[in-house]
Amino acid sequence: MTHYLKKNIPLQALHTFGVEAFAEYYFDIHTLEDLDTILRNYPEIPKPVLCLGGGSNIIFRQHYAGTVLAMRLMGISIIEETDDTVTVRCAAGEQWHSLVEWTVNQGWSGIENLALIPGTCGAAPIQNIGAYGMEIKETIIAVEWYDFASGQKNIFTNEQCHFEYRDSIFKKELANKGIITAITLQLSKKPDIRTSYADIRRILEEKHITEPTVRTIFDAVVEIRTRKLPDPKEYGNAGSFFKNPVISIEHFRHLQQSYPEIPHYPIDDITVKVPTGWLIEKAGWKGFRRGDIGVSPKQALVLINYGKAHTEEIIALSNDIVQDIQQRFSITLEREVSII
Ligand code: EPU
């Protein structure tokens, strides 16, 4: 079984921020049996154990003194179809965008607004990926999970996943305790077209589309993301570096007195979400560069590796931004990206 085991593997090409880093031990997981084999044959593998999907929401410190399991389980299948719905099971190693594209090609609705989000299907529920008025929690009906300690395969229902904004049980209580092996989604044959997002409406108007379809929404999202978000193939980045904060309505009204134009999304009667990209731009950081690390000139929520940035420099810049936003707006930003 030694062909499974790899040591001191470079991680630079295995995560989208692209910093130089090494994993002490590394395994590719191609089958569920690989997981059993690894845990049975190598009980001494260094802990912690980290599951790596597309590496699009993670930044490594220089040396990962543990074991990286790279998720390579593949396969998409239809498990049930009715007149109105289609239930699709997708293995964790499939690329998320490929799944979205495939469902859109069939004309099915439910994840078209989530086009072009980098990463794998297995990683998608961990932070409840969301964009342009849609979240994966709306279509997920099951998440298959392999528990490291017991070797048991469990199935979590949607409710058991405890989904929240960019959060789930897999990011909290179950972090590093197991691995997602597949997800099951229920899609609709009767499209629920979501155009609430101003950017989507703008593109549809530009193209004179008055009756949008699943395909035209997908195309619009691809266009917006391509315009606004830096391509990790060009410059290392991990999408949104911070979450959008939720603040009290009193706090928001106070800010509005100084900044009447501040964008905001009401959450309920007492709280409001404000976009971090706006706060960071207003504070003057947009396009800022220090050595090989910077704030994207296109979208201030994204930090960029211009070449050989080190994780410590990324942390230092992000801490400076957090401190500045705290001083200016009395808002504490929370990182969305995991630093391991
Ligand atoms: N804004 C600025 N300056 C900027 C960036 C944004 O003023 O540099 C303003 C925009 O004008 C707009 C508002 O902030 O009024 C919101 O901007 P945008 O529509 O780009 O969305 P976002 O809130 O910055 C969130 C998600 C993105 C997701 C988009 C679209 C989070 C942390 N980020 O960004 O998710 O694609 O909405 O729904 O919730 C990701 O998670 O990696 C990600 C990219």
Q: Whose CA is closest to atom 28 on ligand 1? A: 131
Task: Give percent of the chain with pLDDT exceeding 90.
Answer: 89
Strand order in the sheet with 289-290: 236-240, 302-305, 293-295, 289-290
User: Which mutation among 138, 217, 221, 240 tests ligand 1's pocket best, with the greatest number of atoms within 8 A of CB?
Assistant: 240
pLDDT given for residue 57 in this prediction: 93
- Cα(23) to ligand 1 centroid in Å equals 32
Q: Is a pLDDT exceeding 50 seen at residue 39?
A: yes
Q: Is a pLDDT exceeding 50 seen at residue 2?
A: no
Q: Which domains does the chain have, with CATH numbers?
A: 6-71 (3.30.43.10), 76-188 (3.30.465.10), 236-339 (3.90.78.10)
- Cα(52) to ligand 1 centroid in Å equals 25
> What is the set of active-site residues?
166, 240, 336
More confident residue, 37 or 325: 325
Report whether 289 contacts 306 (CB < 8 A): yes
Q: Is a pLDDT exceeding 60 seen at residue 339?
A: yes
- Cα(301) to ligand 1 centroid in Å equals 7
Q: Give the separation between CA 41 and CA 34, rounded to whole angstroms.
A: 10
153-157 vs 140-147, strand pairing mode: antiparallel
Which residues' Cβ are closer than 6 Å to ligand 1? 131-132, 199, 228-229, 239-240, 243-244, 263, 275, 277-278, 281, 286, 299-301, 336
Q: Is a pLDDT exceeding 50 seen at residue 1?
A: no
Q: Whose CA is closest to atom 22 on ligand 1? A: 275
Q: Is a pLDDT exceeding 50 seen at residue 286?
A: yes
User: Which mutation among 231, 278, 288, 304 tests ligand 1's pocket best, with the greatest number of atoms within 8 A of CB?
Assistant: 278
| 168, 199, 210, 275 from 221: Cα distances, Å | 24, 9, 16, 19
Q: What is the pLDDT of residues 115-171, one digit of tens each?
A: 999 999 999 999 999 999 999 999 999 999 999 888 899 999 999 999 999 999 999
Q: Give the separation between CA 241 and CA 144, rounded to whole angstroms.
A: 28
User: Which mutation among 135, 301, 302 tests ligand 1's pocket best, with the greatest number of atoms within 8 A of CB?
Assistant: 301
